[in-house]
A and B are shown apart, each in its own frame.
Chain A
Amino acid sequence: MLEIKNISKIYKVGTFGNKELHAVRNVNFNVKNGEIVSLIGESGSGKSTIGKMILRLTDITSGQINFNGVDISTFKGAALKDYYRKVQGVFQDPFSSYNPIFKADRIFNIIHEEFFPDMSGSDWETKLNESLGCVGLNPEHVLNKFPHQLSGGQLQRFLIARALLLETDFIVADEIISMLDASTRIDVLNLLAELKSFGFSVLFITHDLSLGYYISERAVILYRGCVVEMGKTDKIFNNPIHPYTQALMSSVPRLDKHWEEGSGGDLCTRESMGIQLGCSYYGRCKSAIHEKCECIAPELVEVEEDHLVACHLNSK
């Protein structure tokens, strides 16, 4: 369904915009029909930038994003509107996704006016109630309220219901539950997983490994804008190969295992000159011994079926 081919994003930074920041570097992956893919990485790994590029909220510096075989990067006007009918995003902070001055269900009215102008009021109402029912909300309780009168979980479900109304095929879910409380977040997560049966595909962006494992079939691990490991979720979690994935697995706090003693968080980092050239993880990698690691960027190599790793140590 969605094919990401060699995309890069360079931000201009510095006082006069004369410095370049490579937020995303040559990333490739696809999302198939009815599949949930997790994009996992720490802050600054470029995971949100990828989400924004898919949603056309920011331009792609180089590369291609194909949706159902068509390159989306040149879409304008009507074509872009048609694209948004199929692809929608839900973001981290439910409270800033809404205009506090207007009632929250205004987002539905906008869709009615913009995308379904021919539909009569009563038909629309049935459709709206149906989709609110799908996300587990009672229309009587939630309609006609201002954003501050609804909980974070309800607001996030509103945004998902909005995507349902549009008969969307693909949702970019950027950290959608990290602002929610523990007792409500799992409901939103379950909802997302259930949507799969409607034929939805989801790109689930998160920094929390256990959430990624819970919901997705495939995972992509990002570090500093590069894919370091990707493949089937089970394979990555049970057999992490890249040193970064291993470090990530061991430092994420878990409820079933204590931190290993002495494995410590990475406090010291190695200065690396050739960050533009070499492996993105060279600066922190404990196993980097090769000169190769500093100068040549490793490529993704398949180590077993549906499990790819970008590390020189593994490509003999």
Chain B
Amino acid sequence: MKFSIPSSGRCNVSLKVDNLTVYYQTLRGSVQALEQASFEVANGEIMGLAGESGCGKTTLSTSLIMLTPPMKHIGGSVLLDDELLPIADEKKMVDYRFKKVSIIPQYAMNAMNPTRKIGKMIEELLRSRKIDYKSREEELLRRIKMVKLPQDVLDLYPIELSGGMKQRMVMVLSTLLDPSLLIADEVTSALDVSSQKAVSELLVEFRDQQIVKSIMVITHDISILYQIADTIMVMYAGQLAEKAPTKTIIHVPRHPYTKMLISSLPKVGVKFEEHRLEGIPGKPPLLLNPPEGCRFKARCPLAFEKCREAPPFVEIEPGHFVACWKEC
């Protein structure tokens, strides 16, 4: 397994998100779930997206592929392979979904049509995209072999497969048209540890075989990201907090939230009697009327005057972005 970050860096950008702001429209006002997100994902990069529930990580990924009401695109742009993604236009996105941007949804094991045999379902799916099934069949079988599923899986119904097998089948399905960007939303959370490992390693293999150019892995389990991701981006309450190479985030994080988050994770070898871990006091703000400025300031031990303004997401060293006034 490779854990290297492409050295050529920025001339090799696969995904470029610029000031993306997405709100949820509700009767009581807008839920500001994603505020001014700007970041880049390089070619061949596996980017992990981590954060607590409700921090906007799923909002960010969903808005890249299917921005439907009550979500509303407020501003910002998304460039994929130097091409503008029409994320706000649902109809125009049809040309990009599945072909350019693809997703392995949360609870992917239940994503397949239970009334069709898997092969039949894939055939229908491709026909709906006006693609000849026969032309992809050979590749499909090769991929099925790659994820270590038996060839006759196409003649089975989804119910006949185990959770891990279904997950792998959906992975094959999602990547069948060699999308440029693959979004993997909580793909491992419902699996056993051994299937978890197999599925995560397959994601890396998809990248290594250049089936997909870049992958965004969304999870709340940072230890999975430590195993497979090249970079990790941490979000807090709809704002980006920090993005850096995996090792940097785990060992020398700079944002106070990342620091507290990483130090609160139990590790094998740490015992309560010997080393007491501390959580983060307080809870995230409601995003309906979020506080002005840095949204972490109420829980932050370092907060000072300036935190009333929103901190910019700046690069403090190559590849390491932080949004904190203390680090600027």
A interface list, Cβ under 8 A from B: 42-43, 151, 181-187, 189-190, 193, 207-211, 213-215, 233, 237, 247-248, 251-256, 258-259, 261, 264-268
CB-CB under 8 A from A254, the residues of chain B are 223, 226, 267-268
Q: Does B91 contact A (CB under 8 A)?
A: no
Assess the B198–A265 pair: CB atoms within 8 A. Answer: yes
Assess the A253–B266 pair: CB atoms within 8 A. Answer: no
Of chain A, the residue at the smallest CB distance from B225 is: A253
Assess the A267–B279 pair: CB atoms within 8 A. Answer: no
Assess the B197–A214 pair: CB atoms within 8 A. Answer: no
Assess the A210–B266 pair: CB atoms within 8 A. Answer: yes
> In the complex, what distance in Å separates the CA atom of A128 from the CA atom of B100?
58
Assess the B193–A264 pair: CB atoms within 8 A. Answer: no
Assess the B201–A265 pair: CB atoms within 8 A. Answer: yes
> In the complex, what distance in Å separates the CA atom of A248 from the CA atom of B278?
27
Q: Which of the 9-residue segments B12-20, B151-159, B257-265 touches chain A?
A: B257-265
Assess the B220–A181 pair: CB atoms within 8 A. Answer: yes
Assess the A214–B266 pair: CB atoms within 8 A. Answer: yes
In the assembled complex, 8 residue pairs joining A and B whose CB atoms fall closer than 8 Å, in A order, are A214-B266, A214-B270, A214-B272, A248-B193, A253-B227, A254-B268, A256-B268, A264-B197
Q: Given known contacts A184-B279, A184-B283, is B194 in contact with A256 (CB within 8 Å)?
A: no
> In the complex, what distance in Å separates the CA atom of A289 from the CA atom of B9?
50
CB-CB under 8 A from B289, the residues of chain A are none
CB-CB under 8 A from B262, the residues of chain A are 255
Determine which of A183, A190, A237 lies in contact with B268 in the assembled complex, contact meaning CB atoms within 8 Å: A237
Assess the B267–A255 pair: CB atoms within 8 A. Answer: yes
Q: Does B77 contact A (CB under 8 A)?
A: no
Most chain A CB inside 10 Å of its own CB: which residue of B53, B200, B269, B278: B269
Q: Does B252 contact A (CB under 8 A)?
A: no
Q: Does B196 contact A (CB under 8 A)?
A: yes
Of chain A, the residue at the smallest CB distance from B281 is: A187
In the complex, per-residue mask of B248-262: 1 if CB is within 8 Å of any chain A CB, else 0: 001000000000111
Assess the A253–B224 pair: CB atoms within 8 A. Answer: yes
Assess the B52–A186 pair: CB atoms within 8 A. Answer: no
> In the complex, what distance in Å separates the CA atom of A135 from the CA atom of B266?
20
Assess the B270–A151 pair: CB atoms within 8 A. Answer: no
Q: Given known contacts A251-B193, A255-B223, A264-B198, is B267 in contact with A210 (CB within 8 Å)?
A: yes
Assess the A253–B226 pair: CB atoms within 8 A. Answer: yes
B interface list, Cβ under 8 A from A: 1, 3, 52-53, 148, 192-201, 220-224, 226-227, 250, 260-262, 264-272, 276-280, 283
CB-CB under 8 A from B53, the residues of chain A are 181
CB-CB under 8 A from B196, the residues of chain A are 251, 253, 265
> In the complex, what distance in Å separates the CA atom of A156 from the CA atom of B38?
37
CB-CB under 8 A from A182, the residues of chain B are 52, 220, 222, 261, 264-265
Assess the A183–B272 pair: CB atoms within 8 A. Answer: no
> In the complex, what distance in Å separates the CA atom of A266 from the CA atom of B164?
11
Given A255-B250, A256-B268, 4 more A-B residue pairs with CB atoms under 8 Å apart are A183-B260, A190-B279, A237-B268, A266-B198
> In the complex, what distance in Å separates the CA atom of A208 from the CA atom of B220?
14
Assess the B221–A253 pair: CB atoms within 8 A. Answer: yes
Of chain B, the residue at the smallest CB distance from A44 is: B192
CB-CB under 8 A from B280, the residues of chain A are 183-184
Please give the distance in Å from B249's CB to the nearest CB on chain A: 11
Assess the B194–A251 pair: CB atoms within 8 A. Answer: yes
> In the complex, what distance in Å separates the CA atom of A213 from the CA atom of B195?
22
> In the complex, what distance in Å separates the CA atom of A259 from the CA atom of B220?
19
CB-CB under 8 A from A211, the residues of chain B are 266
> In the complex, what distance in Å separates the CA atom of A44 from the CA atom of B250?
32
> In the complex, what distance in Å separates the CA atom of A268 from the CA atom of B195?
11
> In the complex, what distance in Å separates the CA atom of A211 from the CA atom of B223?
13
CB-CB under 8 A from B148, the residues of chain A are 267-268
Q: Given known contacts A183-B279, A190-B276, is B222 in contact with A267 (CB within 8 Å)?
A: no
Assess the B267–A186 pair: CB atoms within 8 A. Answer: no
Please give the distance in Å from A192's CB to the nearest CB on chain B: 9
> In the complex, what distance in Å separates the CA atom of A189 from the CA atom of B277?
9
CB-CB under 8 A from B223, the residues of chain A are 210, 253-255
CB-CB under 8 A from B260, the residues of chain A are 183
> In the complex, what distance in Å separates the CA atom of A182 from the CA atom of B57?
15
Assess the A259–B197 pair: CB atoms within 8 A. Answer: yes
Please give the distance in Å from B303's CB to the nearest CB on chain A: 16
Of chain B, the residue at the smallest CB distance from A249 is: B268
CB-CB under 8 A from A189, the residues of chain B are 266, 272, 277
Assess the B198–A213 pair: CB atoms within 8 A. Answer: no
Q: Given known contacts A190-B272, A251-B194, is B222 in contact with A264 (CB within 8 Å)?
A: no
Determine which of A181, A183, A259 lies in contact with B201 in the assembled complex, contact meaning CB atoms within 8 Å: A259
CB-CB under 8 A from B272, the residues of chain A are 189-190, 193, 214-215
CB-CB under 8 A from B279, the residues of chain A are 183-187, 190
CB-CB under 8 A from B226, the residues of chain A are 253-255, 258
Q: Given known contacts A42-B194, A261-B1, is B221 in contact with A213 (CB within 8 Å)?
A: no
Assess the B227–A186 pair: CB atoms within 8 A. Answer: no
> In the complex, what distance in Å separates the CA atom of A185 from the CA atom of B283?
12
CB-CB under 8 A from A151, the residues of chain B are 283
Please give the distance in Å from B193's CB to the nearest CB on chain A: 5
> In the complex, what distance in Å separates the CA atom of A187 from the CA atom of B278?
7
